[in-house]
Structure 1
Amino acid sequence: MYWLLIFIVIICFHASTSTLTSNSSAGRVEYLPGFQGPLPFYLETGYVGVDENEDVQLFYYFIRSESDPDHDPVMLWLTGGPGCSSISGLLYENGPIKFEDTHYNGSLPTLVSTPNSWTKIASIIFLDLPVGTGFSYARTAQASHSTDIQLCDQAYEFMRKWFESHPEFVSNPFYIGGDSYSGVPVPIITSLISDGNEVGNKPYINLKGYVLGNPLTFPEESNYQIRFANGMGLISDELYKSLFRTCRGEYRSEYISTSNAGCLQNIELYQKCIDGIEQPHVLEPYCGDPREFLILPTQERLKEQRPLSKYECRMYRTQLVYYWINEASVREALHIRKGTITEWIRCSSDLNFTITLNDVRPYHQKLSMKGYRSLVYSGDHDMLIPHHSTQAWVKDLNYSVIDQWRSWKHNEQIAGYTESYSNMMTFATVKGGGHTAPEYKPEECVVMFKRWISYQPL
């Protein structure tokens, strides 16, 4: 009887201290099809179960810092969309490998190392989120539905479980990063972690701040596209002034009265002027509507490639990942669970996802008051979320300037412009960058990130 009582006590104690235990699975990847030789960095992939009964299985790629992983920062990276796989960040933005820039010959695409990886100075977890993105999947129909708030809750649960299974990184400085739509969940997740630390949630996460690129932030964002178009010479000064006068600064169709004929006529003229402009980067060739392209099945998408696309259209160059990741050998190397995702899609347009939040400025204000660091950068040739709108909400936080607007340089050349504020927020433009700035200007962006993460001025 005495031993039975001890056994019961041990079981109860274990249950009370293991509330985050998960059927997580992870494995190291030493070789990848398409890359010659062993990987020159530590790559781990795996799943972490979250939500009720762990019916949401979130897939991640973890790359350990190539410098000093015992002390370097750890960063969670979310790609935008919503619904774009985090491998977009890994292979096209800030990871240590990329596809070789050669004409595709029909074989498995070749992967090569890149010197411009953010993993040179930080460990990065690239997470497929929300559920249904990339290789993340749901075990029930109900679990396949999610909202932006659930996305954030699941990301927080993921990080607690990930640190529980990787205790060697718990004391490292921790940041959250992302771009585009991730401008919405990143400050919310940062706030959830901060609140969790304050109420004593375990493990304690050594949160230091967040990083955002061309981030979606508030509803009036698109109003700044017209200002951007005028500044880039896409519309005339006369049309810009007429638009401002007739529409009173509000250009979103749902807010324009049908009786405002002058505004509607000017909006039509504006649309004609920008027809044929590649909005993610206005200087690049126009390759059609990416939304129409992405909803095509893989084989149809590959047939759609035009001769121009092989060399000039970035949207088509990114299709190499389809030839690669849907290969059985690649999936096996990445430890993908068989039968979970039949056809991998880089940016899914068929998510069971509901957006309920469209203004996260209060979260930035809250985090500013708590003293968290933040780097907000904008590729200055992006028309989707122009730098004007990002500057507007940053200034609306109403913190004093401590480092006035100036250029920042790389290799003695101007790489962009920057301004810093008393809330420990740094804003920076990336000269010549597009919507996902590291994709267009990888060398400049890794320099920017390295200086900031090392507490150096840009």
Structure 2
Amino acid sequence: MKLGALHLLALCLLFQSGLSQTVVRSLPGLPDDLPFYLETGYIGVGELEDVQLFYYFVESERSPKDDPLVLWLTGGPGCSALSGLLYEIGPFTFNYENSTRYRPTLKLNDYSWTKVANIIFLDQPVGTGFSYANSWESYDINDNISAAESYEFLRKWLKLHPEFLSNPLYIAGDSYSGIIVPIVTLEVDKGNEASLEPKMNLEGYLLGNPVTNENSDLNSRVPFAHLKGLISEELYKSAKADCDGDYINVNESNADCVDDLKTVSECLGNLYTANILEPNCLLDTPKSTVGYTWDPSLINHDRSLLPLPMLRSPRVWCRSYNYLYSYIWASDRAVQGALHIREGTIEKWVRCNKTLSYTYTVTDVIDIHKELMKRGFRALIYSGDHDMVIPYIGTQAWINTLNLTISQDWHAWFVDGQVAGYATLYAYFPSLLTFATVKGGGHTAPEYKPKECFAMINRWFDYYYI
């Protein structure tokens, strides 16, 4: 075989194994070169590395060799890492004032978490964002497969980036990643115990507005609605008594409970559940509310692609309008070229893929949290206090079942002299768990309160009390 043919074969094998990493120096929409280090690439995981997981890696703008390394898993399942990067904690976001329907522009994010941490934003599970598989069978996934492939990705990424092996490592994410992150964290620690290479410097994990236990998460919506004055005292007392505090597993023969919950649905049905303070925009067809039947999920808070005219002069601004820009920007050939997306690997980019062939195999990770606390890790759990998708009181309730010792009781935390939320510090020596609310935050908190969330994470990474 000639040398040229050998070289071509090597390139083909490199492409198939997903070992492609490229430095991105500029992006369409930003006028100048990037003032931070951005790397994108694919890493193959699973049998024969059939699954190609795409990632964005941003080095810390402070001290890459000293600052934490964070693996960030956006929720969904199926919501692109680019969504978390653009709308929550990444180094750039859209400049809405200077964007048009044809040409979105970008601006730097003053409150990016990459100012104090190295972050890998991962498109997971396969079928999310720009991640793809070479066979249809690999798209058939579940919670356990998603976690296993994320763990395999991290091991391979660190083998390719050994300079970050000594950095404190945190596994992080929000929303549905509340299921996946604890599983991956435990797998990393078990891998270290089994002397798997590379050995990772795991310090802990962090979660925002996390799905944890399906029943308790959803069941907390009714008491949350009562606390926020969305349903009356009388209705709450009646529903609590008639339904025996269970608003999810409702016996249809319990007519009093069913009637109470119909009235609850009537009260809550027109709210934007991701943040009850913001307007609700019916941009797609919500789940049926015919007859005001009780639907535990209320309204689907993840909106579909909007009609373009809505960008011109909406009479009522809705946060969902912002999401259209990501579809336009990420679907642009020039953008995909700059990000080094492999042509022909995805049919179209969507912010959140609702067509995943996904089986929900894990419905409760409380026992995994208990196990992680026994193993001596730090944890940060934070919640926007106006999120009705995963209400903070449900999160607080399952944290209380961990039987931790309260080291610092419920207290206000401040940003610029103003109350930014409330926090409790729990201990289970040598583990520490911080639970924090973000005042005015929704699902998820950094999108609504970027300044406050940056202050929170900066303090937590540096071991200060929130």
TM-score, normalised to structure 2's length? 0.90
* Match for residue 179 of structure 2 among 181, 184, 197: 184
Is the alpha carbon distance of 1:75 and 1:297 closer, same or farther for their aligned partners in structure 2, counting shifts above 3 Å? closer
Report the counterpart of residue 246 of structure 2 in structure 1: 250
- 5+ residue gaps, structure 2: 1-15, 287-299
Q: Structure 2: how far apart are the matches of 1:215 and 1:296?
A: 19
Q: Equivalent residues in 2 for 1:9-408 (5 A)?
A: 22-102=17-97, 104-220=99-215, 221-252=217-248, 255-288=249-282, 301-303=306-308, 305=310, 309=314, 312-408=317-413
Between 306-315 and 87-96, report the one with greater CA deviation: 306-315
Task: Confirm whether residue 455 of structure 1 aligns to residue 463 of structure 2.
Answer: yes
Residues 309 and 316 in structure 1, CA contact (< 8 A), matched pair in contact too = no
Task: Give the deviation of 1:302 after TM superposition.
Answer: 2.9
Looking at structure 2, the residues matched to 259 and 353 of structure 1 have their Cα atoms a distance apart, in angstroms, of: 32
Q: Deviations along 1:154-210, whole A, 9 cap, x unmatched?
A: 011000000000011111100011110000000000000000000100000110000
RMSD value, Cα? 1.8
CA distance 1:35–1:228, shift in 2 (3 Å): same
CA distance in 2 between counterparts of 1:432 and 1:296 reads 21
Q: 1:9: which partner in 2?
A: none
- 8 Å CA contact 2:203, 2:377 repeated in 1: yes
Count the aligned residue pairs: 434
Which residue identity is paired with 1:260?
N
1:440 to 442, 445, 448: 448
**Following the alignment from structure 2 to structure 1, what is the Cα–Cα distance between the partners of residues 90 and 267?**
37
1:402 and 1:421 in contact (8 A); partners too:
yes
Secondary structure at the counterpart of residue 443 of structure 2: coil
* Letter matched to residue 404 of structure 1: D
Which residue is equivalent to 2:5?
A: none
CA–CA separation in structure 1 for the residues paired with 2:284 and 2:435: 28
Alpha carbons of 1:327 and 1:341: their partners in 2 closer, same or farther (altered >3 Å)?
Answer: same
Q: Which amino acid aligns with 2:370?
A: Q
How much has 1:308 moved relative to structure 2?
6.6
Quick one: distance in 2 between partners of 1:331 and 1:353? 26
Give 2:335's aligned amino acid: V
Shift of 1:259: 1.2
1:259 counterpart letter in structure 2? S
User: How many angstroms apart in 2 are the aligned matches of 1:206 and 1:295?
Assistant: 35
- The question of whether the paired residues in 2 share the 8 Å contact of 1:432 and 1:441 is answered with yes
Aligned partner of residue 96 in structure 2, secondary structure: coil
How far does the alpha carbon of each residue in 1:419-440 deviate from its partner, in whole angstroms, 9 at most, with x for none? 0011300000000000110000
> Which residue pairs with 2:433 in the alignment?
425
Q: How many Å apart are 1:304 and its aligned residue?
A: 7.0
**1:107 positional shift:** 2.9
Q: 1:345 aligns to what SS in structure 2?
A: coil
Could you state the TM-score of these two structures normalised by the residue count of structure 1?
0.92
Q: CA deviation at 1:317?
A: 1.3
Give the Cα–Cα distance (whole angstroms) in 2 for the partners of residues 295 and 272 of structure 1: 20
C-alpha deviation, 1:104, in angstroms: 4.3
| Contact kept in structure 2, 1:77 and 1:125, CA below 8 Å | yes
CA contact under 8 A between 2:178 and 2:207: conserved in structure 1? yes
What's the counterpart of residue 10 of structure 2? Answer: none
Residues 304/92 of structure 1: CA separation in 2 closer, same or farther (3 Å cut): same
Distance in 2, matches of 1:116 and 1:287, equals 27
Q: What corresponds to 2:3 in structure 1?
A: none
8 Å contact kept, 2:442–2:448: yes
Q: Percent identity?
A: 48
CA 1:142–1:92 in structure 2 vs 1: closer, same or farther (change >3 Å)? same
Q: Deviations over 1:335-384 (max 9, x none)?
A: 00000012101101000111110100011000000011000000000001
Deviations 1:24-75 (A, max 9, x none): 1110000000001100100000000000000000000000000000111000
Paired with 2:223 and 2:285, the residues of 1 have a C-alpha distance of: 24
In the alignment, residue 449 of structure 1 is paired with which amino acid? I
Q: Which structure 1 segments of 5+ residues have no match?
A: 1-20
User: Does the aligned pair in 2 maintain the 1:295–1:349 contact within 8 Å?
Assistant: no
Amino acid corresponding to residue 288 of structure 1 in structure 2: L
Q: Distance in 2 between matches of 1:320 and 1:372?
A: 38
2:17, 2:332 → 1: CA distance?
29
C-alpha separation in 1, matches of 2:348 and 2:301: 13
* SS of aligned partner of 2:246: coil
Local SS of the residue matching 1:68: coil
Cα gap change, 1:304/1:371 in structure 2, threshold over 3 Å: closer, same or farther?
A: farther
Return 284-293 or 265-274, whichever deviates more: 284-293
